[in-house]
Structure 1
Amino acid sequence: MLSKNKIKFIHSLNRKRTRENKKLFLVEGNKLVLEAITSKLPLKLLVATSDFYELNELDCNIAEEVVECSAEELKKTSMLQTPQQAMAVVHMPNNVLHLDQLTNQLSVALDFVQDPGNLGTIIRIADWFGIKHLLCSTDTVDCYNPKVIQASMGAILRVKIHYLNLEAILDNARNSQLPVYGTFLEGKNIYQSTLSSNGILVMGNEGNGISPAISDKIKHKIHIPSFAIGGYGSESLNVATAAAICCSEFRRRTSD
């Protein structure tokens, strides 16, 4: 069963400061927990109902601590509106980044993306398009926020996410002849642009786009054109939607 202290500990992971101090994050739901188990990340705590354990025939050493609880206990502990049968506390990965890791591949950088749902979706998009590294400005929303994790649908366990000085990494990329792309309203039509198989694609803030400081580091400015009839359509695209379109076009262009 779950003790009050254990429940309090799990609830504390809803706070960014606690997650950062303990280097732990929470995943919930049967699918995400099973993905966490099969990932390379060690589990500190696994909490699940007897039905979950019996159905999946899990080893008792699958986590540092394994707890069996009732569905009612899980409901009291869960941060989801509709809890399933399992949750796990996972150790954060120690993702160290060197520029040479980015040289021969496409990476995505985020400049002050604030909505957890957007970040989670972008992580999922990166996973879908085989993008290994996601570079985040230090003011981008925390990737271990529970809403981000749910929106990522398990991709958080596969994509390497780095919080860093984005200006500095883009400077280094430019000095190393690594192409840097960014989305701008005044950019060149992406469907008419030359796109490389490697480089860094920068996506900006939901309301303000890419900041002036980051904009100065971007050589290749691209734009997703609107095809609205008569030009009367939406003013802009959601940042996650724009990321999906751009990643798809990069991969389409360079997959031949």
Structure 2
Amino acid sequence: MNILPSPHSEKISLTERKLIKAMARAKVRKETSCFLAEGAKTIAECLLSFPCQLLVMSEEGLCELKHVYSHEGVLPLAEALSNIERRILLPSSYDFSSISQLRSPRPLVALFKLPHVQSEQLEQPQGMTLLLDGVQDPGNVGSIIRTADWFGITSLLISMEGADPFSPKVVQASMGSIAHLALKPLTQEGITAHLHEYKKRGFPIVGTFLEGENIFLPKRPLPTLSTPSLLVLGNEGKGISESVASYCTRRITIPSLSPTCHGESLNVAVATAITLATIANHT
């Protein structure tokens, strides 16, 4: 059964190739209101949440996409493909490294529309929200998004001074989880406004620091994952900024249990996973 709707093209233009490659630049993503996704798993998840402007694939790529959708049958994929603005099916011989951002390119590349820019005003929190205060590494941001999704977190506040959550490396590292969370990039003023409002409403603001309460032996129960609260993760080198730290109502730390470990701190994505797992275990 042919599930690829007609009409579809069998050629990709020079303009389209240049546009796909240019998605590595934040300026281009902003100007076009698009972001890049690659690989069957990530694209399949994004097709359920974002309008797709362009899908480029080979027969192999289409088969990979079918495989991901196989647990739901052909119909959902056929419907998803029919809603795509432009579909391009290239020959199996096509060299996808000419348009891919990956070291090991997959024969499946798509451009999706960025979600509508939300207001910087605080909406009623639905459970715990994460705040990434200047996390710079795209791999870390993507891993945190993926971990947050695993633990049922539905909202992330992300400092614009950190990695762009819709950069290709973040999208790839999230493994499709970027489609499941509400991601809210904020200016420093927006972050301050959110922190002020959380504190005003009496919601817990928990910061992760090198020194603080032992997360494994807290002095009092930590907020649950379903409690309206804020969990703050800081920059890889500098940690949580002073301006954000001043709003934290609790400071927690993950103590080293090794007498021989002299590392300064854990990777921020690893620390996020440990923190969320510990909170979930205490719930």
The TM-score, its normalising length taken from structure 2, stands at 0.84
Report the equivalent of 2:281: 252
Figure out how many residues of one structure are paired with residues of the other and give that number: 251
Task: Give the deviation of 1:100 after TM superposition.
Answer: 4.1
Q: Does the C-alpha gap of structure 1 residues 28 and 207 become closer, same or farther in structure 2, counting only changes over 3 Å?
A: same
SS at match of 1:151: helix
Q: Aligned pair 1:29/2:51, yes or no?
A: no
Deviations 1:23-74 (A, max 9, x none): 100101122122222x221100111112333662653523100011134242
Deviations 1:3-41 (A, max 9, x none): 11110111121110110121100101122122222x221
* Displaced runs of 4 or more, over 6 A: none
Of the candidates 224, 230, 241, which is equivalent to residue 211 of structure 1? Answer: 241
Unaligned runs of 5+ in 1: none
Q: Does the C-alpha gap of structure 1 residues 27 and 203 become closer, same or farther in structure 2, counting only changes over 3 Å?
A: same
Deviations 1:163-221 (A, max 9, x none): 12212101100000110000112211112222012210001000010011111011111
- Percent identity at matched positions? 36
Q: CA RMSD in A?
A: 1.7
SS at match of 1:99: coil
Report the equivalent of 1:163: 185
Q: CA contact under 8 A between 2:61 and 2:106: conserved in structure 1?
A: no
Match runs of 1:60-139 below 5 Å: 61-71=82-92, 72-94=94-116, 96=118, 99-102=122-125, 104-139=126-161
Q: Does the C-alpha gap of structure 1 residues 62 and 54 become closer, same or farther in structure 2, counting only changes over 3 Å?
A: farther
Of the candidates 184, 194, 197, which is equivalent to residue 209 of structure 2? Answer: 184
Q: Does the C-alpha gap of structure 1 residues 41 and 232 become closer, same or farther in structure 2, counting only changes over 3 Å?
A: closer
Whole-Å Cα distance in 2 between the matches of residues 70 and 115 of structure 1?
A: 35
Report the equivalent of 1:223: 253
Whole-Å Cα distance in 2 between the matches of residues 224 and 17 of structure 1?
A: 38
Whole-Å Cα distance in 2 between the matches of residues 124 and 149 of structure 1?
A: 10
Whole-Å Cα distance in 1 between the matches of residues 222 and 176 of structure 2?
A: 29
Report the equivalent of 2:51: 42
Whole-Å Cα distance in 1 between the matches of residues 209 and 199 of structure 2?
A: 19
Whole-Å Cα distance in 2 between the matches of residues 21 and 5 of structure 1?
A: 15
SS at match of 1:32: helix
SS at match of 1:243: helix
